[in-house]
């Protein structure tokens, strides 16, 4: 996946706090990272699976892409942009999410970590 120069990027403060069909937070971290903790309502597709699973991502949704620090998500966002999506990379990733005081949960609903 190549980085696209025209991908928008936003600080965590510009990311909504809840997600649904029209506003999606796509977490592209690996399974072990996701299991330690993620944003509530995010969808999880590890970076390497994105090309095969693009049909799971609504091209009409407002799409935020996140990883641990922002590098992998920028690459995925670039790939999605080249394929007709309008993704927005989350600067600083889940680390910035936590630093901003936003909650992180586990699949079981407990307090997660990044």
Structure tokens at 93: 């990733």
Per-residue pLDDT, averaged over 96-111, amounts to: 97
Instruction: State yes or no: is 67 an active-site residue.
Output: yes
pLDDT surpassing 90 at residue 1: no
Q: What's the distance, CA 94 to chain centroid?
A: 8
Q: pLDDT tens digit string along 9-25?
A: 999 999 999 999 999 99
Specify the pTM: 0.95
Number of other residues whose CB lies within 10 A of the CB of residue 35: 14
pLDDT surpassing 60 at residue 3: no
The pLDDT score that the predictor gives to residue 30 is 98
Structure tokens at 78: 């670039």
| Cα diameter, the chain | 38
pLDDT-based confidence at residue 65 (cuts at 50, 70, 90): very high
Instruction: State the catalytic residue, choosing from 7, 66, 67, 80.
Output: 67
Domains and CATH numbers, the chain: 8-99 (3.40.250.10)
3-state class (DSSP) for residue 24 = strand
pLDDT surpassing 50 at residue 2: no
Structure tokens at 87: 């993704």
DSSP state of 55: G
């Amino acid at each position: 996946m190549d980085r696209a120069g025209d991908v928008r990027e936003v600080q965590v403060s510009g990311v909504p706090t809840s997600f649904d069909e029209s506003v999606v937070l796509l977490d592209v971290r690996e399974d072990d990272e996701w299991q330690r903790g993620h944003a509530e309502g995010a969808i999880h597709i590890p970076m390497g699976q994105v090309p095969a699973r693009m049909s799971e991502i609504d091209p009409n949704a407002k799409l935020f892409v996140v990883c641990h620090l922002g590098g992998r998500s920028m690459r995925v966002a670039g790939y999605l942009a080249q394929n007709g999506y309008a993704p927005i990379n989350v600067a600083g990733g889940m680390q910035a999410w936590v630093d901003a005081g936003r909650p992180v949960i586990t699949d079981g609903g407990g307090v997660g970590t990044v």
